[in-house]
Amino acid sequence: MQRRTFAMSAALLTGAAALAVTTTPASAQAAKVKVGFMLPYTGTYAALGNAIENGFRLYVDEQGGKLGGREIEYVKVDDESEPSKATDNVNKLIKRDNVDVLVGTVHSGVATAMAKAAKDSNTLLIVPNGGADAITGPMCGVNIFRSSFSNWQPAYAMGEVAAKKGAKKAVTITWNYAAGTESTNGFKESFEKGGGTVVKALNLPFPGVEFQALLTEIAATRPDVVYAFFAGGGAVKFVKDYAAAGLNRSIPLYGPGFLTDGTLDAQGDAAQGMYTTLHYADGLNTPRDNAFRLAYAKTYKLQPDVYAVQGYDAAQMLAIGLKATGGDVSKKPEFAAAIEKAKIDSPRGTFTISRAHNPVQDIYLRKVVGKENKLDGIAIKGLSDPARGCRS
Ligand code: BEZ
Asked, for residue 81, whether it belongs to a domain, the answer is: yes
186 lines ligand 1 (CB under 6 A): no
Q: Are residues 224 and 169 in the same domain?
A: yes
- The set of residues, in sequence order, having a beta carbon less than 8 Å from that of 18 and lying 6+ positions away, is none
Q: Are residues 271 and 290 in the same domain?
A: no
Candidate of 79, 151, 363 to mutate for ligand 1, largest count of ligand atoms within 8 Å of Cβ: 151
Three-class secondary structure of residue 197 per DSSP? strand
Candidate of 146, 152, 258 to mutate for ligand 1, largest count of ligand atoms within 8 Å of Cβ: 258
Q: What is the rounded average pLDDT of the residues 250-265? A: 98
Q: Is the pLDDT of residue 25 over 80?
A: no
Q: Is the pLDDT of residue 16 over 50?
A: no
Rama region for 301: left / alpha / beta (φ>0; ψ in -120 to 50; rest): left
Whole-number percent of the chain with pLDDT over 90: 92
Alpha carbon separation from 311 to 102, 136, 226, 292, 306 (Å, rounded): 12, 18, 30, 12, 9
Q: Are residues 208 and 319 in the same domain?
A: no
Query: Among residues 255, 278, 301, which one ends one of the domains?
Result: 278
The CA-based dihedral angle spanning residues 140, 146, 151, 156, taken in that order and rounded to the nearest 10 degrees: 100
- The set of residues, in sequence order, having a beta carbon less than 8 Å from that of 125 and lying 6+ positions away, is 101, 102, 103, 104, 114, 115, 118, 143, 144, 145
146 lines ligand 1 (CB under 6 A): no
Ligand 1 centroid to 340 CA: how many Å? 24
Amino acid sitting at position 323: K
Q: Read off the pLDDT band of 318 (50, 70, 90).
A: very high
109 lines ligand 1 (CB under 6 A): no
231 lines ligand 1 (CB under 6 A): yes
Asked, for residue 52, whether it belongs to a domain, the answer is: yes
Domains in the chain: how many in total? 2
Q: Are residues 256 and 290 in the same domain?
A: no
- Closest atom of ligand 1 relative to the 177 alpha carbon: 2
Ligand 1 centroid to 179 CA: how many Å? 6
The pLDDT assigned to 30 comes to: 57
Q: What is the rounded average pLDDT of the residues 16-22? A: 36
What are the contacts of 80-86 at 24+ separation with CB within 8 A? Answer: 80/40, 80/42, 80/43, 81/40, 81/43, 81/44, 81/45, 81/105, 81/106, 81/107, 81/110, 81/206, 81/207, 82/43, 82/110, 83/107, 83/109, 83/110, 83/113, 83/177, 86/110, 86/113, 86/114
Q: Is the pLDDT of residue 8 over 50?
A: no
Q: Are residues 298 and 351 in the same domain?
A: yes
Whole-number percent of the chain with pLDDT over 70: 92
Query: Among residues 246, 278, 310, which one ends one of the domains?
Result: 278
Cβ distance 75 to 98 under 8 Å?
no
Three-class secondary structure of residue 49 per DSSP? helix
Asked, for residue 12, whether it belongs to a domain, the answer is: no
- Closest atom of ligand 1 relative to the 107 alpha carbon: 2
Candidate of 45, 81, 106 to mutate for ligand 1, largest count of ligand atoms within 8 Å of Cβ: 106
Cite the DSSP H helix spans in 137-262.
152-164, 178-193, 212-221, 232-244
Asked, for residue 94, whether it belongs to a domain, the answer is: yes
Q: What is the rounded average pLDDT of the residues 93-112? A: 98
The pLDDT assigned to 15 comes to: 36
Closest Cα to atom 6 of ligand 1: 231
Ligand 1 centroid to 195 CA: how many Å? 28
Candidate of 80, 105, 107, 358 to mutate for ligand 1, largest count of ligand atoms within 8 Å of Cβ: 107
Tens digits of residue pLDDT in 159-170: 999 999 999 999
Q: Are residues 165 and 261 in the same domain?
A: yes
Ligand 1 centroid to 108 CA: how many Å? 6
Asked, for residue 303, whether it belongs to a domain, the answer is: yes
Asked, for residue 384, whether it belongs to a domain, the answer is: no
The pLDDT assigned to 5 comes to: 35
Q: What is the rounded average pLDDT of the residues 116-120? A: 98
Q: Are residues 159 and 248 in the same domain?
A: yes
Q: Is the pLDDT of residue 95 over 60?
A: yes
Tens digits of residue pLDDT in 282-309: 999 999 999 999 999 999 999 999 999 9
Q: Read off the pLDDT band of 178 (50, 70, 90).
A: very high
Alpha carbon separation from 182 to 47, 176, 228, 317, 377 (Å, rounded): 23, 10, 12, 26, 24
Asked, for residue 219, whether it belongs to a domain, the answer is: yes
- CATH number, position 95: 3.40.50.2300
107 lines ligand 1 (CB under 6 A): yes
Q: Are residues 125 and 71 in the same domain?
A: yes
Q: How far apart are CA 284 and CA 358, in angstroms?
A: 22
Q: Are residues 96 and 214 in the same domain?
A: no
Ligand 1 centroid to 126 CA: how many Å? 15
Asked, for residue 271, whether it belongs to a domain, the answer is: yes
Closest Cα to atom 7 of ligand 1: 231
Look up residue 272 and give its DSSP letter: T
Query: Among residues 260, 278, 296, which one ends one of the domains?
Result: 278
Q: Which residue has the higher pLDDT, 31 or 62?
A: 62
131 lines ligand 1 (CB under 6 A): yes
Look up residue 94 and give its DSSP letter: I
Q: Are residues 169 and 274 in the same domain?
A: yes
- The set of residues, in sequence order, having a beta carbon less than 8 Å from that of 84 and lying 6+ positions away, is none
Q: How far apart are CA 318 and CA 83, in angstroms?
A: 26
Q: Are residues 216 and 263 in the same domain?
A: yes
- Closest atom of ligand 1 relative to the 131 alpha carbon: 3
Q: Is the pLDDT of residue 203 over 60?
A: yes
Q: How far apart are CA 149 and CA 157, in angstroms?
A: 12
Q: In terms of residue numbers, what domain contains 40?
A: 31-149+284-360
Q: What is the rounded average pLDDT of the residues 55-80? A: 98
257 lines ligand 1 (CB under 6 A): no
Q: Is the pLDDT of residue 28 over 80?
A: no
108 lines ligand 1 (CB under 6 A): yes
Ligand 1 centroid to 106 CA: how many Å? 5
The pLDDT assigned to 1 comes to: 31
Ligand 1 centroid to 349 CA: how many Å? 21
Q: Which of 17-31, 48-62, 132-146, 210-224 has the lowest mean pLDDT?
A: 17-31
181 lines ligand 1 (CB under 6 A): no
258 lines ligand 1 (CB under 6 A): yes
Q: How far apart are CA 133 and CA 300, in angstroms?
A: 32
The pLDDT assigned to 121 comes to: 98
167 lines ligand 1 (CB under 6 A): no
281 lines ligand 1 (CB under 6 A): no
Q: Are residues 176 and 61 in the same domain?
A: no
